[in-house]
Amino acid sequence: MLIFTAPGGAATPFSFNLTYLPEFISYNPGANPLTSLRVETQEDGVLHDWTAAGIAAMNNFMKVGTVTANDVNLRIADGQLRPKNVTISGVTSAAGAVNFYAVSDNTGITAFKSSNAQILALNPTTFEKFTALFIPAMATLTDYAEILYQDGHSQRWEMEDLRRASSVYQQVEGVIVNNVNGLIQKCTVRCAAATPAYILSVWIKGINA
């Protein structure tokens, strides 16, 4: 469903409100990605505050099937959440209207939250209690993720392992540690250079606030 049209323009801010939080939000900015996109609710605060790099990392997560060029599909809840006082805002990067769509295939229970992290050079960083971890700048050969599963199994995953595994659940490959099924207890990432990471997690107020 079309929920808003941003008029576009270089460094032009936009903002619109909803009375519910949808499961997915999507748009197509053409060849001019948004500079930023923010989703917040009066009840929960800021849930997502994406930079252009964060949008690119999380775009089309678990999107099966052919993706139209420049389509952006972002998962923001596990279903439609009502009532919510929602504000979605961002900044466009070039002229041209951008249509935003929202859809849900069920009534949801909880929202998702995005956060940013920095993996320091040669400093193993551990992540726990996440839905998915996106490390798009991970390098081949030198970098790896050591994943400990709930059953005690441990496995080292390198960039190519993670990228190839992602094709099982989405069309566009990415360097992603997918914990949607909750089988991962913790993931320790070691990178030779400073590397950004983007985290998607289930929003539990008071725990990951």
Of 110, 131, 149, which marks where a domain is finished?
110
Question: Strand 24-27's sheet: what is its strand order?
Answer: 2-8, 95-103, 24-27, 72-75
Residue 112, pLDDT score: 97
Q: How far apart are CA 148 and CA 156, in angstroms?
A: 9
Q: Examine residue 208 and state whether it is found in any structural domain, yes or no.
A: no
98 lies in the same domain as 169: no
104 lies in the same domain as 12: yes
Neighbours of 118 (CB within 10 A): 10
Which structural domain range is residue 11 located in?
A: 2-110
Question: In percent, how much of the chain has pLDDT > 90?
Answer: 94
Over range 33-51, report the average pLDDT: 96
Side chain identity, residue 170: Q
Q: Cα 14 from chain centroid? A: 20
Q: What is the pTM of this model?
A: 0.93
Is the pLDDT score of 208 beyond 70?
A: no
Residue 209, pLDDT score: 46
145 lies in the same domain as 184: yes
Is the pLDDT score of 52 beyond 60?
A: yes
104 lies in the same domain as 131: no
Read off the CATH number of the domain in which 175 is found: 2.60.120
Question: How many folded domains does the chain comprise?
Answer: 2
Q: Give the mean pLDDT of the chain.
A: 95
Residue 140, pLDDT score: 85
Over range 172-186, report the average pLDDT: 96
83 lies in the same domain as 61: yes
8 lies in the same domain as 99: yes
Per-residue burial over 92-105, b = 16 or more CB atoms within 10 Å of its CB, e = otherwise: bbbeeebebebebe
Is the pLDDT score of 85 beyond 60?
A: yes
Q: Examine residue 21 and state whether it is found in any structural domain, yes or no.
A: yes
Over range 146-151, report the average pLDDT: 97
89-131 confidence digits (pLDDT tens)? 999 999 999 999 999 999 999 999 999 999 999 999 999 999 9
83 lies in the same domain as 144: no
Of 76, 95, 110, which marks where a domain is finished?
110
Q: Examine residue 207 and state whether it is found in any structural domain, yes or no.
A: no
Is the pLDDT score of 194 beyond 50?
A: yes
8 lies in the same domain as 106: yes
39 lies in the same domain as 123: no
Q: How far apart are CA 77 and CA 111, in angstroms?
A: 4
69 lies in the same domain as 161: no
106 lies in the same domain as 16: yes
Q: What does residue 203 show for φ and ψ, rounded to 5 degrees? A: -80, 115
Over range 165-186, report the average pLDDT: 96
Confidence band (pLDDT; 50, 70, 90) for 46?
very high
Is the pLDDT score of 28 beyond 90?
A: yes
Read off the CATH number of the domain in which 103 is found: 2.60.120.20
Confidence band (pLDDT; 50, 70, 90) for 58?
very high
Residue 206, pLDDT score: 54
